[in-house]
Structure 1
Amino acid sequence: MNKSEWSDKQLEDLLRQMPKIQDHRNPRDIYQNLSIKKRKRPAWILPGIATAAALLLFFLLVPKMLDGTEYSFDSVKQEESSNEDKISLSKENSSIMMKKEDTIENGISGAEPKMFMTGSNKTGLYDDEVGDGTVITYWIPDSQAQILVPISTVVHPDNNKNWLTIFTETMGLLKEEEWGLTDYYPLNATFKLDNTNNTVIVDVPSDHKFGEGSATETNFIKLLSKNIASNSQVNKIKLTTNGQPGIELGNYGEMDEIEVEPEGKHAYFFYSPDGLETTYLVPSTETYNDINAAFEAMKTDQPALGFVASLVPDFPMKEVTIKENKLTITMDENAAMENNQETVYAYEAILFTAKDFGIETITILNAPIKLLGPFDLSKEMKVPIAPNHRPIQ
């Protein structure tokens, strides 16, 4: 702004020329008005205005804040869920990898046996597991009716029943299909023990089905003989139909009796039913002159019967000697042995094969490891009582 060019004298003369203005108000009123204007505003006015402004801001901003908070919580939840998914996926992948590693380690592929560690890590029945019970072994056809698989269980009868009564009362509790075998029991026959003649009498009804087909007849005769031989010292079976002597079998004609031959001199192999993660120890269909021949046979598969070699490379035997029903196996000093399920079953296959040749105990020398599953290889081992233990309730 430019500086005024008017002098004080000129301004004073100009004001004097302006008309006079008169105020007709009472001087007291003028003084009162001036006093009111000079009074201070009440102290609550400014805080009240500030409070109102704060409330206004609160109502404007809170919804946004809540939206932001909800978004934050959702983000945290999503992140936690994502982390949980990652952890779950990691565990799942780890489990899959462990299963794959187990599969590779145990040689599970194609026709190889499925070797999975179980609670006890063994399949046979041993002295310390029987107690006051009675061991019963049943021979059950596989799903193709090619071989007979021995299944053993321990029964604790309520009273002093003989083995044949226990055998007949328990056969209805077998779970053959669940075990990957043929649903064969209970047999459509009655059994009677003749202690005087050391004979079991098997009576079948006239409409029996045991003579339908050569495989059915052969399995019927074999399993009767094996069942009796595995559970008793009986040496003869008499066959009757409705109480009359003899039973008619298509390919065998009429049979009156079966001579029971004690089991022995077989080699034990691995057998796995299709679709099941189960391995059974099953004796060969043929017998061998000596245990060395049996051990040699156990190194080779028998695919026609579904048998897989049980004497695995992890159990290399350098020398085998027998003295007074005691078997000593000397292993190669440079042998490597893994403590896995396949090797446990291989050891049991050796134990059962030795039992079939009349061996009572086995001693392992130069064992690469001391403990193999539940077995202590540094100690003398008694042969098992029966193969393929399956509890029955």
Structure 2
Amino acid sequence: MESSKWTEEEIQKQLEKMPSVKDKRSRELIFHEIEGRLEESKLSKKTTRTWIMPGLATACLLAIILLLVPGTFIKNDVSAPSLHEKPKNNTLVRKEKDEVKEPSPAPEPKQSKKTVRVEEQKKPAAPERSVKPSGPAKPEPTADPPVQRYKVKVPEPSTASIMAAVESGKYHPPMTKTDLAEQMSAGKSVVTVAYSDEQAQFVVPVSFLVNGKGTYADKVQNVLGSFKPERVGLQPTMLNKAKLKEKEGAVVVDLPPGSVSSAEEALLPKILGYTFAYNHEYSNVKFMTGDQPGYKFSNLGPKEEMDITKNSGGANFLYTSPSGDEFLVDSNATSFAGSAGSMQAALDELSKGYKDQKLMPAVPEDIKLTASSSGALTTIRVEGNGLKNDEKTRKMMDALLMTAKNYGSQSVSVTNTNLEAIGPYDLEQPIDNLVGVNFMVVK
């Protein structure tokens, strides 16, 4: 680069020849403008500093969420199936997004419970794995506590204490009126259906709790179609082949031709009586064959109707089926025994039974029962030793109470047992009649 040809003196002279430049503004105006610019500069710096920390806080919070999210995506809890069945709550998601975007001067390095719940709703079905969040703060507990509130606990039926499972091979007791009242308040009713033993020597009435409306005949038809008696060692009857309906206050049994065997024919009045008259629903049965009045039986001949009001009663005994299930059976439900002439005679039979026909006594031989009646109340005095509040004595009580009911008692007072209670029975006050017999769950 070439050096300048101007000397300092020449430059000075040239500058002096230039016109003067002066600021025409006053000192106050210049000072005011400078002061305004300084304020603007301070405000700009302050605003920049205000957004630096929230911006960093938001970035840190998002980074922590990204670290913790994989743990919730792979978390699994089989006890809360409703989580993935319940639709996602959009309001909850929007609130969660707002919380993430909101600046915070001191972010906590832990995952919020709402975030855990939202992420678990997205995908709760993977195997559980714990993930430790980074940061000095103590990690948040696992999301199991909020999950527990979604657990669905199925309550046990209120009749579980008086009903045995079908496959259990245990005793099937009758029901108290208190238990029945609870079931009726829930819309249930009692249906009793008579089945036969494997040798067709007697019928075994089995009671069920059923839902829904309709006639008693309709409910019996539903039980016949859903319950399999073979599972508890009993045999189906001719009613499993029949069509049932109610007409003019009577039950109509429509049977296919030749569907009633000679063995069933001997038990026919008992099958019909324990099925349709045991709960005082019907007193008369009308027969039909293919929509035509009447049915021709092989031994009884043609019949159009039958009175079924006198086919229950007698002393009660214990029958154990081939499956191990235990049932109460009236002596009048058999083809070889009948009802005793009086309640005292029936109580005397309780300790004997018909062992050759597999009807065992429910009362020990060393126990003596004495009955006295006053109106509808029957008092039974028990003489003997060794009674305990156990299942064996419970069976004795059921047989005793069901026998007294068959002879017109509406309540029974049991004395001299040296026990305050046996099973569900309070012996310090009269016991109301039992309801149904051999209750069982339909499966």
> What TM-score results when the alignment is normalised by the length of structure 1?
0.63
Are residues 1:183 and 2:231 paired?
Answer: no
What is the letter of the counterpart of residue 311 of structure 1? V
Residue number in structure 2 paired with 1:300 = 352
1:367/1:378 contact within 8 Å kept = no
SS of the equivalent of 2:359 reads coil
Residues 220-369 of structure 1 correspond to what in structure 2 (within 5 A)? 220-274=268-322, 276-285=323-332, 286-313=338-365, 315-317=367-369, 319-332=370-383, 335-369=385-419
Residue number in structure 2 paired with 1:59 = none
Give the Å deviation of 1:236. Answer: 1.5
Residue number in structure 2 paired with 1:205 = 256
Residue number in structure 1 paired with 2:89 = none
SS of the equivalent of 1:144 reads coil
In structure 2, C-alpha distance between the alignment counterparts of 1:249 and 1:263, rounded to whole Å: 19
What is the letter of the counterpart of residue 220 of structure 2? F
What is the letter of the counterpart of residue 149 of structure 1? V
Q: Deviations over 1:216-258 (max 9, x none)?
A: 2223443123311113342221111112222121112212211
**How has the CA–CA distance of structure 1 residues 185 and 240 changed in structure 2, closer, same or farther, with 3 Å as cutoff?**
closer
Q: 2:221 aligns with which of 158, 168, 174?
A: 168
1:142/1:180 contact within 8 Å kept = yes
In structure 2, C-alpha distance between the alignment counterparts of 1:137 and 1:271, rounded to whole Å: 17
Paired residues, number = 266
In structure 2, C-alpha distance between the alignment counterparts of 1:302 and 1:120, rounded to whole Å: 21
In structure 2, C-alpha distance between the alignment counterparts of 1:238 and 1:375, rounded to whole Å: 40
**Identity of counterpart residues, as a percentage?**
23
What is the letter of the counterpart of residue 419 of structure 2? I
In structure 2, C-alpha distance between the alignment counterparts of 1:190 and 1:225, rounded to whole Å: 17
What is the letter of the counterpart of residue 319 of structure 2? Y
**How has the CA–CA distance of structure 1 residues 218 and 295 changed in structure 2, closer, same or farther, with 3 Å as cutoff?**
same
Q: Report the structure number with the largest CA radius of gyration.
A: 1
Give the Å deviation of 1:315. Answer: 4.4
Give the Å deviation of 1:347. Answer: 0.6
Q: CA RMSD in A?
A: 2.3
Residue number in structure 1 paired with 2:202 = 147
**How has the CA–CA distance of structure 1 residues 121 and 388 changed in structure 2, closer, same or farther, with 3 Å as cutoff?**
closer
In structure 1, C-alpha distance between the alignment counterparts of 2:420 and 2:366, rounded to whole Å: 14
> What TM-score results when the alignment is normalised by the length of structure 2?
0.56
Instruction: Note the residue ranges of structure 2 that are not aligned, 5 or more in a row.
Output: 1-167, 333-337
2:312/2:330 contact within 8 Å kept = no
In structure 1, C-alpha distance between the alignment counterparts of 2:170 and 2:362, rounded to whole Å: 19
What is the letter of the counterpart of residue 357 of structure 1? Y
